[in-house]
Amino acid sequence: MALSPFSRLATKLFHGLDPESAHEAAIETLALGLGPNAPKDVPALSTRCMGLRFPNPVGLAAGFDKNARAPMALARMGFGHVECGTVTPRPQEGNPKPRLFRLTEDAAIINRMGFNGCGIESFTRRLERFRTLQAGRNAVLRSVPVGANLGINKIDARPLEDYPYLASRVAPLADYITINLSSPNTPGLRDLQSASTLGDILQAITRANASLPPLLVKLAPDLDPDALPDIVEAASEGGAAGLIVNNTTISRPPSLRSPLVTETGGLSGRPLAQLSLQMLKRVVPLVKGRMAVISCGGIESGFDVFERLRSGADMVQIYSALIYHGPALVTRIKSELLHEIYRAGFDSVDDLKSAGR
């Protein structure tokens, strides 16, 4: 499906800027309410996951709206859920610029942002305003769950205190919470994915919070496969409702053609597709239906979504493809997904998911 005139123009304009300036311009545009309005989703796309109802299975991954500046506009764009963050306890600048790179030849992104953001105080104030606005809008916008992705500061981090504190701040405002232990751009963060440390963090969160929305853990694609069973068990025993599989990768596939391949940071986009699918197929049998699994990485078409759902994912998230294909991508993916579902003889997303269980 061809890009709409609006999507083509927006993508061309933003790609005329350096990547970080383009990202800021896109968020500011959306925060002003200037984004597109997608058609209402058909019932066949609706799905239930973690006790929540989602209008469709295509969500926006964390990292795009770090500071919860535009969840309303992103919901109007047609996403089935919007994940804001990663947010840290205190504001921080992140890593030195330049820190965001388009690998255009590979339809990929490398970032080493380093959890730059406004901190939890500003983040929660914006979520509060969003919830007030959302309550007065139509039922379509009220039906789009909004999640909060939580991380730690680079300096003076205390994970066993920081994650419970952040969870307590966002719990009244978020439909679900994601614990980010897998960004490669904060020193020592990925070490927190070990089964014992993950279990301690989840236990600390649940001990400090009597009531929480569904809690998810976001994993790195570079984990040792031998460590996965213990990590999945720790997540399940710690009360996690789901896993996001997966974050960016520090690996560099030999197929990459861009001269920017030598930049350090996490790689996302099309080259991550097979690595993400492989990890999904390793994780799903370990989960055994006890938690939701959200697949993220290299998704840019309805067939990609169909393949992930057929492989055991409950939902998917996208980000990098949005940079290359523009805001019309979400509607296109959902249209293609419906075509794939009907072509395969299923009636709905939930019908497809049930057949794969």
Q: What DSSP line would sit under 283-294, residue for residue?
A: HHHHHTTSSEEE
| Structure confidence at residue 2 as a pLDDT band (50, 70, 90) | very low
Q: Which residues are catalytic?
A: 183
- Can you give the pLDDT at residue 331? 97
Collapse the DSSP code of 334 into the 3-class scheme (helix H, G, I; strand E, B; otherwise coil) and give the result: helix
Q: Per residue in 290-340, pLDDT tens?
A: 999 999 999 999 999 999 999 999 999 999 999 999 999 999 999 999 999
With a pLDDT cut of 90, the percent of the chain lying above it is 90
CB proximity list for 96: less than 8 A, separation 6 or greater: none
pLDDT band for position 355 (cuts 50, 70, 90): confident
pLDDT at 173: 97
Rounded Cα distance between 129 and 286, Å, is 39
Q: Indicate the SS3 state at residue 237.
A: helix
pLDDT tens sequence across 168-208? 999 999 999 999 999 999 989 999 999 999 999 999 999 99
3-state secondary structure of 197: helix
**What is the predicted pLDDT for the residue at 3?**
45
pLDDT value at 4 more than 60: no
Per-residue tokens: 248: 């960016």
Assign 8 a pLDDT band (cuts: 50, 70, 90): low
Contact 245, 272 (CB under 8 A): no
For the entire predicted model, the pTM comes to: 0.95
* Confidence at residue 140, expressed as pLDDT on a 0 to 100 scale: 72
Contact by Cβ (8 Å): 293, 246: no
For residue 115, name the pLDDT band (cuts at 50, 70, 90).
very high
Q: How far is CA 259 from the centre of its chain?
A: 27
Residue 10 is predicted with a pLDDT of 62
Choose among 86, 64, 88, 89: nearest CA to 75: 64
Can you tell me whether residue 161 is helix, strand or coil?
A: helix
* 9 confidence band (pLDDT: 50, 70, 90): low
Residue 275 has pLDDT above 60, yes or no: yes
CB atoms within 10 A of CB 304: 24
Q: Which of 256, 274, 250 is nearest to 189 (CA)?
A: 250
Average pLDDT of the segment spanning 221-249: 97
The predicted structure's pLDDT at residue 141: 74
Please report the DSSP string for 231-289 in residue order. Answer: HHHHHHHTT--EEEE---BS---TT---GGGGS-SEEEEGGGHHHHHHHHHHHHHHHTT
Cis peptide before 98 (omega within 30 of 0): yes
